[in-house]
């Protein structure tokens, strides 16, 4: 609460105050809708190309492993660039000099850059005449996708007052994972009807609409600052560590010794933690008091992705269902998640984000546990209701978790907080299937699927434990992220950070 005579911060304006710091007389929910649509699109693009890899391999005359870079290039760029993007948006790309001068990046300018770059790179990827072109375009698109992922929660946080922040955050937090789930289905329809290039163009209409809304709604304030060389070094270190982990898990089912490749991820991570760029990130985790929530986000994302991977394969291979029947069965999860997402937001606004997120994660863990204990003979009904239970819990959990992280972050570091939670989620989505595949392959075909589902359920219960564990935030430390210098930012800027 502000002291007597002090004006409330821009993101704490009462809901009955006329006008909105971002949208003026327009409803702020138009920006929430755009954030949700862009979150859905960016996550859709992470998985939608999977279904077209065989066709890309044939059409561009490359091996299937080379065609994988249409997916891996995007995923690795997103994971590698999330933290550098968050620091850049907070104005700390040059070690804090920008913040010291009252810098920061204009929200409107950053959104226009991210959406335009994402759209242009998608079009270039669809026009690719050879594989190298496609891989480079997808890596570039992933870079702009990382910027979008970081901007979406910041946009929502600045658009709405605290009284409805849980409901608002539930929109992108629910639609993002839904994009990941529906990607293969959307890609399959487009592939059969128009070919693989149409799969890469599916996001263009959404991006064009988002550009028009941003141009018309957001005020023309704030510009862009050059990021410098630090983000590239940070991205290389984080990306090499993630690549080593994924490669080790992917190759382990054939040769278990490949798991040792995961040790190669340690040197770049240790190196990164010793760099000046890591200090603001670590300060945010300590100052917010919700460090365990980032681990919870990673755990449940990994469990969710592992479940989706195992269920789709087992329904087709062991139960003999067609691809269409499998898709309809698995649809129970996103349907329940979509229905419960708004409910989770309302409950978070009424009872608080942590209790709501904990309840949702617990429901998801129960659903995944029941799925792991369902035996060897599956029917569509048996799988569907368990998936619906797990999906309902994910819907309750998503928005409150995002709200918990963003509201606990120091005012000058919401960009870093947004990048951290998205990094945790993206790593979970990438690691989950790789870990499930490794466990399935090492355990053998007889019981491998059951063990992989047990890993999925175990990851969900780890999420519950982390959410239930509270940690006090670090005290103010001068002009650090939570210190006295962390004055409230202007409504039209992504707040600057040390």
Q: Is the pLDDT of residue 465 over 90?
A: yes
Average of per-residue pLDDT across 224-249 = 75
pLDDT band with cut points at 50, 70 and 90 for residue 70: confident
- The arithmetic mean of pLDDT across residues 430-455, rounded, is 79
**For residue range 182-195, what is the model confidence (pLDDT) as tens digits?**
776 777 778 878 88
- Candidate ranges 7-16, 139-148, 244-253, 271-280; pick with highest mean pLDDT: 139-148
CB-based contacts of 391, cutoff 8 Å, min separation 6: 332, 333, 334, 335, 336, 337, 340, 364, 367
State residue 72's pLDDT score. 77
pLDDT above 80 for 203: yes
Segment among 202-206, 272-276, 277-281, 398-402 with least mean pLDDT: 277-281
Are the C-beta atoms of 411 and 284 separated by less than 8 Å?
A: no
What is the tens place of the pLDDT at every residue in 250-301?
676 667 777 788 788 888 888 888 887 777 777 777 766 677 888 899 999 8
pLDDT band at 1; cut points 50, 70, 90? very low
State residue 345's pLDDT score: 86
Name the more confident of 405 and 391. 391
Find the mean pLDDT for residues 445-458: 83
Which of the residue ranges 163-177, 199-213, 439-453 has the most confident prediction, judged by mean pLDDT? 199-213
b/e burial code for range 155-192 (CB count within 10 A of at least 16 → b): bbbbbbbbebbbbbbbbbbbbbbbbbbbbbbbbbebbe
Measured torsion, CA atoms of residues 199, 204, 205, 210, in degrees rounded to the nearest 10:
140
Helices (H), 321-443: 323-330, 332-351, 353-372, 380-408, 414-443
pLDDT at 479: 38
Overall size of the chain counted in residues: 498
- Residue 102 gets the label, from left (phi > 0), alpha (psi -120 to 50) or beta, of left
Residues 6 or more apart in contact with residue 98 via CB below 8 angstroms: 91, 92, 104, 225, 496
Q: pLDDT exceeding 90 applies to what percent of the chain? A: 15
β-bridge partners, 106: 493
Given the DSSP bridges, would you call strands 493-494 and 105-106 parallel, antiparallel or unpaired?
Answer: antiparallel
Structure-model confidence comparison of residues 250 and 209, the more confident one: 209
DSSP assignment of 475-488 equals PP-TTSTTSTT-PP
Report whether 497 contacts 287 (CB < 8 A).
Answer: no
pTM (2 d.p.): 0.70
DSSP string, 288-313: HS-HHHHHHHHHHHHHHHHHHHHHHH
Higher pLDDT, 268 or 429: 268
Contact criterion met (CB below 8 Å) for 239 and 282:
no
Q: How confident is the model at residue 20 (pLDDT cuts 50, 70, 90)?
A: low
Contact 296/425 with Cβ under 8 angstroms?
A: no
pLDDT confidence of residue 283: 76
Q: Which of 30, 36, 23, 27 is nearest to 342 (CA)?
A: 36
Using the predicted structure, report yes or no on whether residue 370 has a pLDDT greater than 90. Answer: yes
């Amino acid at each position: 609460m502000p002291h007597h005579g002090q004006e409330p911060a821009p993101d704490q304006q009462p809901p009955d105050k006329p006008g909105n710091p971002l949208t003026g007389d327009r409803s702020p929910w138009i920006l929430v809708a755009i954030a949700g649509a862009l979150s859905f699109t960016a996550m859709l693009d992470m998985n939608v190309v999977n279904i077209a890899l065989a066709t890309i391999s044939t059409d561009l005359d490359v091996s299937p492993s080379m065609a994988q870079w249409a997916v891996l290039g995007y995923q690795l760029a997103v994971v590698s660039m999330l933290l550098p993007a968050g620091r850049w948006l907070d104005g700390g790309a040059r070690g804090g000099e920008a913040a010291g001068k009252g810098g920061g990046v204009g929200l409107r300018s950053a959104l226009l850059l991210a959406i335009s770059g994402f759209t242009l790179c998608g079009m270039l990827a669809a026009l690719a005449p050879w594989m190298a072109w496609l891989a480079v375009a997808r890596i570039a698109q992933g870079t702009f996708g990382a910027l979008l992922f970081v901007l979406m929660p910041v946009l929502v946080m600045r658009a709405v007052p605290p009284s409805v922040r849980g409901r608002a955050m539930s929109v992108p937090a629910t639609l993002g994972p839904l994009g990941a789930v529906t990607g293969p289905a959307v890609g399959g329809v487009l592939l059969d009807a128009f070919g693989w290039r149409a799969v890469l163009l599916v996001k263009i209409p959404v991006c064009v609409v988002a550009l028009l809304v941003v141009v018309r709604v957001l005020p023309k304030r704030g510009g862009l600052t050059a990021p410098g060389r630090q983000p590239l070094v940070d991205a290389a270190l984080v990306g090499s560590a993630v690549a080593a982990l994924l490669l080790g898990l992917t190759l382990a089912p054939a040769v278990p010794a490949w798991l040792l490749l995961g040790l190669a991820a340690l040197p770049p991570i240790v190196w990164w933690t010793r760099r000046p760029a890591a200090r603001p990130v670590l300060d945010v985790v300590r100052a917010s008091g919700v460090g365990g929530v980032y681990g919870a986000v990673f755990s449940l994302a990994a469990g969710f992705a592992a479940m989706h991977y195992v269920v789709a394969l087992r329904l087709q291979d062991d139960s003999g269902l067609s691809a269409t029947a499998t898709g309809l069965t698995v649809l129970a999860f996103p349907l329940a998640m979509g229905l419960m997402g708004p409910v989770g937001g309302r409950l978070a606004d009424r009872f608080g984000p942590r209790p709501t997120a904990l309840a949702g994660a617990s429901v998801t863990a129960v659903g995944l546990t029941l799925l792991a204990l369902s035996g060897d003979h599956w029917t569509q009904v048996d799988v569907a209701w368990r998936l619906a239970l797990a999906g309902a819990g994910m819907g309750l959990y998503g928005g409150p978790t995002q709200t918990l992280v963003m509201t606990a972050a120091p005012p000058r570091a919401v960009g870093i907080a947004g990048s951290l939670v998205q990094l945790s989620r993206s790593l979970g989505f990438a690691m989950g299937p790789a870990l499930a595949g490794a466990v399935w392959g090492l355990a053998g075909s007889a019981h491998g699927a059951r063990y992989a589902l047990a890993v999925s359920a175990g990851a969900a219960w780890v999420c519950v434990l982390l959410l239930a564990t509270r940690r006090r935030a670090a005290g103010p430390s001068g002009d650090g992220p939570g210190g006295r210098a962390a004055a409230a930012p202007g409504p039209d800027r992504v707040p600057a950070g040390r």
